[in-house]
Structure 1
């Protein structure tokens, strides 16, 4: 068998007619540091003020992200007081060497803090679309990027779901309508719930997304006991090597995997 090669993006290309991409999903907590539950109180100021070496944390995250082809971000500050008015997704794109990036601001707390879903990519997306998600409290969204044409194209959706089960059910129902018949879909982010929840099972029934072969605990980062961050893939894709790793000082671990995508899904 011929050895895999590499395309111009640097991504590994298996000899089986598919392209191997490395994916990473990370809730970066806007670069804040949380090393235990006590920090939510003791370091609450870091969530609204531009202090606590956030730039150093972002540099660590950029070093990690730079090893991947497509990165989904949650809680990336789009440029408010707490980030020193730095668009953190743009900063990570520059530091990580990504040619393509996009962000979706969603939740804002006055003028002092804001949060966004973000995309970093070495592949050029054909289009990137922002969708608002339903929920008891407005402000959540899904960032959807298409890398190939038609229903066979690779579609990557980045999401940060609500804490409440009823809101998550509505949000996943909306996402299911977007992805329902896509064999080459990826849905990743902070779901705030494990795979076995009823709303997740409803998502699997309504789409071609598949439950992962194994779950990876990602929260809290200092003693991971819950699998609430996920990378879900459609039945036309295959993956391997799912694992969790620190995203600097965030309260979530990042999750990564290697994805084999048919060439036709990227054309």
Structure 2
């Protein structure tokens, strides 16, 4: 979600006194059950709308977001509503420095000298990156990052496609964007694929979610918004092949409840040491994917 916010807070606030230690929570490893068989490695993937690092107390505190990321200790993190600029204290640069992860930016808007939109933090160096324009005329600019990584640190030998996005606020807009994404995946070279992000879909039985479940197979939903008392499952993670997905859960530490208006969504995967089993999932029926609302 993108409620009205005050104008960009001075990024130097990132250096204000740390207020995270007393509420730091457990690592994301606690979300993941032990591996079920020998020869399997675990990988943790997170989708997190950080709300420009403005917490539920309306304070700009990127160090709280960094502390939540430390709790998660994930291999891949898709960020939404993240800002970047020329100063090293801007949010994305700050988080990259704190985590030491590779950064892939996917900005969709520019406000003054500040870029705004999506980003990926990944332990694995990206091999290729493509930006997908999902903007619908008359609506806020939207997009998706398509990054191919090789997750060698988790024992995986095959390339993996990660698509990170933040869909629009209007139902017709989301339908059009999901159609674009599914057609894009269906025509891309076949690779194991993770699609994740804030899909802004309130209706569990709406067409966008039905199409996504039909393509990737159904995955669990868990409430992530609003963070203090989550009711809506706006943040989602899908994967193909579905068999690699072990669990999906929201990260509900005390710090995560205040750091943003969304909770992080955590998915745990079991990856065979020989690599993912690449399977190109069949697209939904043509009349469904290409339907114009």
Which TM-score band applies after superposition, normalised by the shorter structure? 0.7 to 0.9
2:49 matched to which residue of 1? 27
Q: Secondary structure at the match of 1:21?
A: strand
2:91 matched to which residue of 1? 88
Q: CA deviation at 1:27?
A: 0.3
Q: CA deviation at 1:96?
A: 1.3
Residue 125 (1) aligns with residue 132 (2):
no
Residue 200 (1) aligns with residue 216 (2):
no
2:79 matched to which residue of 1? 73
Distance 2:243 2:117 in 1: 27
Residue 210 (1) aligns with residue 217 (2):
yes
Q: Which of the residues 220, 224, 228 maps onto 2:230?
A: 224
Distance 1:94 1:113 in 2: 18
Post-superposition Cα deviations, 1:59-118, rounded to whole Å, max 9, x if no partner, equal 3234235x11111100111228xxx774422321221132x111111133x427642211
Q: CA deviation at 1:249?
A: 1.9
1:4-15 matches, within 5 Å, as none
Report which stretch shifted further, 123-132 or 166-175: 123-132
CA change 1:114–1:126 in 2 (3 A) is: closer
Q: Secondary structure at the match of 1:24?
A: strand
1:256 matched to which residue of 2? 266
Distance 1:242 1:13 in 2: 15
Number of paired residues? 230
Post-superposition Cα deviations, 1:3-51, rounded to whole Å, max 9, x if no partner, equal xxxxxxxxx998655542111110001110225xxxxxxx5xxxxxxxx
The answer for unaligned runs of 5 or more in structure 2 is 1-33, 151-157, 279-293
Q: Secondary structure at the match of 2:184?
A: helix
The answer for unaligned runs of 5 or more in structure 1 is 1-11, 36-42, 44-51
TM-score normalised by the chain length of structure 1: 0.75
Residue 190 (1) aligns with residue 198 (2):
yes
Q: Secondary structure at the match of 1:75?
A: strand
1:235 matched to which residue of 2? 241
Q: Which of the residues 66, 81, 90 maps onto 1:59?
A: 66
Report which stretch shifted further, 240-249 or 134-143: 240-249
Post-superposition Cα deviations, 1:136-165, rounded to whole Å, max 9, x if no partner, equal 4151000011125xxx74211100000101
Q: Secondary structure at the match of 2:85?
A: coil
Q: Is the contact made by 1:58 and 1:248 (CA closer than 8 Å) also made in structure 2?
A: no
CA change 1:113–1:93 in 2 (3 A) is: closer
Q: Secondary structure at the match of 2:271?
A: strand
